[in-house]
Amino acid sequence: QKEVEQDPGPLSVPEGAIVSLNCTYSNSAFQYFMWYRQYSRKGPELLMYTYSSGNKEDGRFTAQVDKSSKYISLFIRDSQPSDSATYLCAMSSYNNNDMRFGAGTRLTVKP
Amino acid sequence: DTAVSQTPKYLVTQMGNDKSIKCEQNLGHDTMYWYKQDSKKFLKIMFSYNNKELIINETVPNRFSPKSPDKAHLNLHINSLELGDSAVYFCASSQSQDNSPLHFGNGTRLTVT
């Protein structure tokens, strides 16, 4: 079993839809959780950063962490074609050297 | 202004050659990293470098060696390139190594023929 599991998709939605992206993990020591967005031929850029369990909202993006279920989610409201990218979850426990990434979910938002 | 820049963007070379990839960050960060992203998009850490302390992922072959002339630069040297080295290599930096967010460059696409 991989430490971090993420469905690679692809996921295709119409513009304006609510998108739900998820990751599960096996290491209960993870306590820092991140979502990165990666456009084609570009490096990942940080979207959301959360510590421990709970929700965090930033504009159209909401990150949720459920440590008891070892499950994290990213919701995108009113999705736009510019949201089309690969979304990578990442998590770490003690420092960045033990950070683990999911495989990434490729999202396409169609106009 | 690009925060983390790496060159070249593309690198095509033959098996057995030695090549280098350069990385520079202008964010004033203390820690820099090299990541490898394979064809399935998995990002795996190769090295981190913080205050002259190098931490190596034990799975990285010793043909790969990072070199840091100063805090703002971390170059990657690869000797005796193999077909399996073909991937996208990302440089990244963070304020510190203590769970501060990573800032990535745009990658170097290495193709070994």
| Cβ proximity of B9 and B106 under 8 Å | yes
Inspect the interface and report whether the beta carbons of A42 and B106 lie closer than 8 Å.
yes
> For the ranges A20-24, B32-36, B53-57, which has the lowest average pLDDT?
B53-57
Q: Which two tokens stand for residue B95?
A: 């304020």
Q: Which two tokens stand for residue B27?
A: 């964010």
What pLDDT is attached to residue A63? 97
What pLDDT is attached to residue A1? 66
Mean pLDDT of the B12-30 span = 96
Q: Residue B97: closest CA among chain A residues belongs to which residue? A: A96
| Nearest chain A CA: its distance from B57 CA (Å) | 9
What pLDDT is attached to residue B57? 81
Dist CA B47 CA B74 (whole Å): 10
What pLDDT is attached to residue B2? 67
Which residues in chain B have their CB less than 8 angstroms from residue A94's CB?
99
* Residue A97: pLDDT over 90: no
What pLDDT is attached to residue B106? 96
* Residue A85: pLDDT over 80: yes
Listed residue (B111, B92, B109, B108) closest to B7, CA to CA: B108
Which residues in chain A have their CB less than 8 angstroms from residue B105's CB?
43
Inspect the interface and report whether the beta carbons of B98 and A96 lie closer than 8 Å.
yes
* Residue B55: pLDDT over 90: no
User: pLDDT tens across B30-54, in order?
Assistant: 999 999 998 887 899 999 998 778 8
CB proximity B47 to A under 8 Å: no
Using CA atoms, how far residue A45 sits from A85, B18, B57, B78, in Å, is 11, 30, 23, 26
CB proximity B95 to A under 8 Å: no
What is the residue-averaged pLDDT of chain B?
92
Q: Measure the N-to-C terminal CA separation of chain A; round to a whole number of Å.
A: 37
